[in-house]
DNA sequence: CAATTATGAATGAACAAGCATTCATTGCAA
DNA sequence: TTGCAATGAATGCTTGTTCATTCATAATTG
């Protein structure tokens, strides 16, 4: 939807607290009243925008998992990779996530949408990691611990990509996560060559 | 300062976009005009609030480093621990960080404060990790990679603590980070017993 | 086939509510 | 009396929302 895309751009460009009805409709090239016509209220537009981004994320990892094939190793690598996918990890989308996370403590609506996304993803994530631990005989590992740490690392990378995109590229961020995997699951992921790629990708 | 504390509580309770001058002054138990008297403008109050939290964080890790003694192993453990310290990792403070991170893409003022905090911290963090790599003869490790990953994991944990404080305690979050360290620096950090503590700390 | 009507999306001026900011006034301590 | 921190009513501006009106297209009619 044209208006949701305009909202995403406005949040990225003006911040959530300076995202007004008139700015969004101007961004969309439409008139003032158009948002209330289609979304009833501003609150609703914002909730729908968050839902849109969350749904896009869900689709991305579902598809990635399907494309990865039957091997658990590939499935886990695919789940990590999707976090740094061009669409999902777009600067504007990152800004949207952080904008809503910042408000989520005060707004149950936002928090619930975020928590639901998290639950769905983590359930699947946990299952893949549990399977890899079993298949690989990594008896010393705890699935909950690994999945909590790995997904936290991914989210922290998003913050770095949001705040200092100059210092970090999506590729480098992914490489750092893969490096973590290579230490946790040494039999399944190659230890990358020393040094992180410092070429600055757009 | 009384007004900055009130601002922190308001951001945590109402969100940044519903944090108004009247709400903050009411929260502080003072009158309408008081903020402009002491801080000139709302923008300035918010910037000072962010600076306050950033400064508090800087003091915390500086002190932690001083208290840790001369051993590099202890220094790194102290830097990880401080992220989950009761004061620094307080729910309201987390809400403040995420609120400003969410706006930072649109507001250079906020972004600069965040980036400055990041630079100072990461320089020190990197130095400690570099030293441990040298001392321990971990030739396969790249300091930049390890420090990027570890600090990202810490920030991701903050998000989990903000969104789902029920699922995760500060202690558990720290344990997950320490588990990462035990895989990266096996000679220096004990591998914790399997399973993460799931007791739900307040 | 042309003329007319019906339909629903889009408009933008108007409105009340809430906002940040100002400043003449107050209260209090020195 | 003096000096200064604090007040809170008043101000002008911006916000979200409404709704009578416009516009473009589809359906109906003679």
Helix (H) or strand (E) holding B111: helix B108-136
Instruction: Report pLDDT for A1.
Output: 80
DSSP track, B44-110: HHHHHHHHHHHHHHHHHHHHHHHHT-S-HHHHHHHHHHHTT-TTTT-HHHHHHHHHHHHHHTT-HHH
Chain A nearest CA to B172, separation (Å): 9
Which residues 6+ apart lie within 8 Å of A194 measured at CB? B139, B140, B141, B142
Instruction: Report pLDDT for B129.
Output: 98
Instruction: Report pLDDT for A198.
Output: 46
Residue from the list B114, B160, B163 with its beta carbon closest to the beta carbon of A111:
B163
Provide mean pLDDT across the span B176-201: 78
DSSP state of A167: T
Phi and psi at residue A81, in whole multiples of 5°?
-60, -35
Q: Is the CB of A2 under 7 A from strand D?
A: no
Query: Cβ(A33)–Cβ(A24) under 8 Å?
Result: no
Q: What is the per-residue pLDDT across A84-129, written as a single tens digit (0 to 9) for each?
A: 999 999 999 999 999 999 999 999 999 999 999 999 999 999 999 9
Q: Which of A125, A143, A159, A171 should be substituted to probe chain B, the one whose Cβ sees the most B Cβ atoms within 10 Å?
A: A159
Contact A17 B12 (CB under 8 A): no
Q: Is the CB of A43 under 7 A from strand D?
A: yes
Q: What is the per-residue pLDDT across A12-66, written as a single tens digit (0 to 9) for each?
A: 999 999 999 999 999 999 998 999 999 999 999 999 999 999 999 999 999 999 9
Q: Which residues of B touch A140 (CB under 8 A)?
A: 191, 194
Contact A16 B16 (CB under 8 A): yes
Q: Which residues of A touch B108 (CB under 8 A)?
A: none
Searching chain A, which residue's CA lies closest to the CA of residue B185? Answer: A183
- Among A69-73, B7-11, B116-120, name the one with the lowest average pLDDT: B116-120
Q: Which nucleotide is nearest to A24 if distance is taken from CA to C1'?
A: D16
Residue from the list B114, B139, B176 with its beta carbon closest to the beta carbon of A149:
B176
Structure tokens at B98: 């995420």
Instruction: Please report which confidence band the pLDDT of residue B193 belongs to, taking 50, 70 and 90 as the band edges.
Output: low
Chain B nearest CA to A113, separation (Å): 11
Q: What is the per-residue pLDDT across A123-148, written as a single tens digit (0 to 9) for each?
A: 999 999 999 999 999 999 999 999 99
Instruction: Report pLDDT for B201.
Output: 42
Q: Does A98 touch chain B (CB under 8 A)?
A: yes
- CA dist B16 and B35 (Å) reads 16
Q: Provide, in whole angstroms, the distance separating residue B35's CA from nucleotide D10's C1'.
A: 17
- CA dist A114 and A106 (Å) reads 13
Chain A nearest CA to B158, separation (Å): 8
Provide mean pLDDT across the span B120-142: 95
Contact A159 B13 (CB under 8 A): no
Q: Is the CB of B108 under 7 A from strand D?
A: no
Instruction: Please report which confidence band the pLDDT of residue A201 belongs to, taking 50, 70 and 90 as the band edges.
Output: very low
Q: Mean pLDDT over all residues of chain B?
A: 93
Long-range contacts of B189-197 (CB under 8 A, 24+ apart): B189/B73, B189/B77, B191/A140, B194/A139, B194/A140, B194/A141, B194/A142, B195/A142, B195/A144, B195/A145, B196/A142, B196/A144, B196/A145, B196/A148, B196/B172, B197/B169, B197/B171, B197/B172
Residue from the list A106, A145, A184 with its beta carbon closest to the beta carbon of B15:
A106
Instruction: Report pLDDT for A65.
Output: 96
Q: Provide, in whole angstroms, the distance separating residue B31's CA from nucleotide C13's C1'.
A: 37
For residue B132, pLDDT over 50 is answered with yes
Instruction: Report pLDDT for A194.
Output: 54
For residue B43, pLDDT over 90 is answered with yes
Structure tokens at A84: 């740094």
Residue from the list A105, A156, A175 with its beta carbon closest to the beta carbon of B154:
A156
Q: Provide, in whole angstroms, the distance separating residue A83's CA from nucleotide C10's C1'.
A: 38
Q: Does A120 touch chain B (CB under 8 A)?
A: no
- CA dist B11 and A180 (Å) reads 35
Q: Using the C1' atom of nucleotide C10, identify the protein residue whose alpha carbon is closest.
A: A34
For residue A199, pLDDT over 80 is answered with no
């Amino acid at each position: 939807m044209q208006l949701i895309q305009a909202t995403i751009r406005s949040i990225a460009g003006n911040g959530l607290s300076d995202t007004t009805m008139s700015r969004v409709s101007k961004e969309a090239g439409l008139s003032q009243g158009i948002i209330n016509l289609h979304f009833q209220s501003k609150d609703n537009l914002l909730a729908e925008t968050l839902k849109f981004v969350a749904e896009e994320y869900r689709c991305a990892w579902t598809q990635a998992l399907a494309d990865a094939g039957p091997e658990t190793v590939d499935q886990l690598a695919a789940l990590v990779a999707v976090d740094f996918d061009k669409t999902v990890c777009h600067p504007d989308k990152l800004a949207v996530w952080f904008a809503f996370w910042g408000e989520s403590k005060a707004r149950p609506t936002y928090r619930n949408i975020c928590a639901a996304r998290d639950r769905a993803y983590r359930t699947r994530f946990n299952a893949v990691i549990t399977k890899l631990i079993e298949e690989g005989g990594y008896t010393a590992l705890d699935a909950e611990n690994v999945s909590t740490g790995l997904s936290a690392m991914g989210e922290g990378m998003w913050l770095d990509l949001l705040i200092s995109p100059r210092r970090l590229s999506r590729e480098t961020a992914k490489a750092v996560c893969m490096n973590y995997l290579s230490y946790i699951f040494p039999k399944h992921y190659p230890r990358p060559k020393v040094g992180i790629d410092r070429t600055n990708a757009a």
